[in-house]
Copies of this chain bind each other. A is one copy, B any other.
Amino acid sequence: MADVARRAGVSHQTVSRVLNDHPSVRPETKERVLRAIDELAYRRNSSARALVTRRTNTLGVVAFDTTLYGPASTLFGIEQAAREAGYFISIVSLKAITSKSVSEAFDYLADQSVDGLIVIATQRSSAEALTALPGDMPIVAVEGGEAPGRPVVCVDQYAGATAATKHLLDLGHETVWHVSGPLDWLEAEARLDAWRATLEAAAAPVPDVLHGDWSPATGYQAGRQLARRHATHDDVTAVFVANDQMALGLLRAFQEAGIQVPKEVSIVGFDDIPEAAYFPPPLTTVRQDFAAVGRDSIAVLLDRIENGPSDAPRRVVAPATLVVRASTAAPPTN
A residues within 8 Å of B by Cβ? Answer: 43-48, 50-51, 56, 58, 66-67, 69, 72-73, 75-76, 79-80, 83, 88-93, 95, 108, 110-113, 215-217, 219-220, 245, 248-249, 251-252, 255, 274-275, 277-280
Q: Is the CB of A83 within 8 A of B108?
A: yes
In the bound assembly, the distance between CA atoms of A244 and B16 in angstroms comes to: 52
- Name the one of B47, B73, B248, B255 contacting A56, with C-beta atoms under 8 angstroms: B47
A47 and B245 contacting across the interface, CB-CB below 8 Å:
no
**Contact A90 to B92, CB < 8 A, known contacts A47-B50, A47-B56:** no
Contact A113–B45 (Cβ < 8 Å): yes
From A290, which residue of chain B is reached at the shortest CB distance? B67
- Known contacts A51-B51, A112-B88, A249-B278; is A72 also within 8 Å of B79 by CB? no
Q: How far is the CB of A109 from chain B (nearest CB, A)?
A: 8
Shortest C-beta distance, A314 to chain B (Å), equals 26
A274–B215 CB distance below 8 A: yes
Question: How far apart sit A110 and B215, CA to CA, in the bound complex (Å)?
Answer: 39
Some 16 contacts from A to B, beta carbons below 8 A apart, are: A43-B110, A44-B111, A45-B51, A46-B111, A46-B113, A47-B48, A51-B51, A66-B76, A66-B79, A67-B69, A67-B72, A72-B72, A88-B112, A91-B91, A215-B274, A252-B278
Contacts of A215 in B (CB 8 A): 274
Measured CB to CB, the closest approach of chain B to A104, in angstroms, equals 10
User: Complex formed: what's the CA distance from A282 to B217 in Å?
Assistant: 12
A249 to B113, CA, bound (A): 46
**Cross-chain contact of A275 among B56, B93, B216, B277 (Cβ < 8 A):** B216
Residues of B within 8 A of A88 (CB): 90, 112
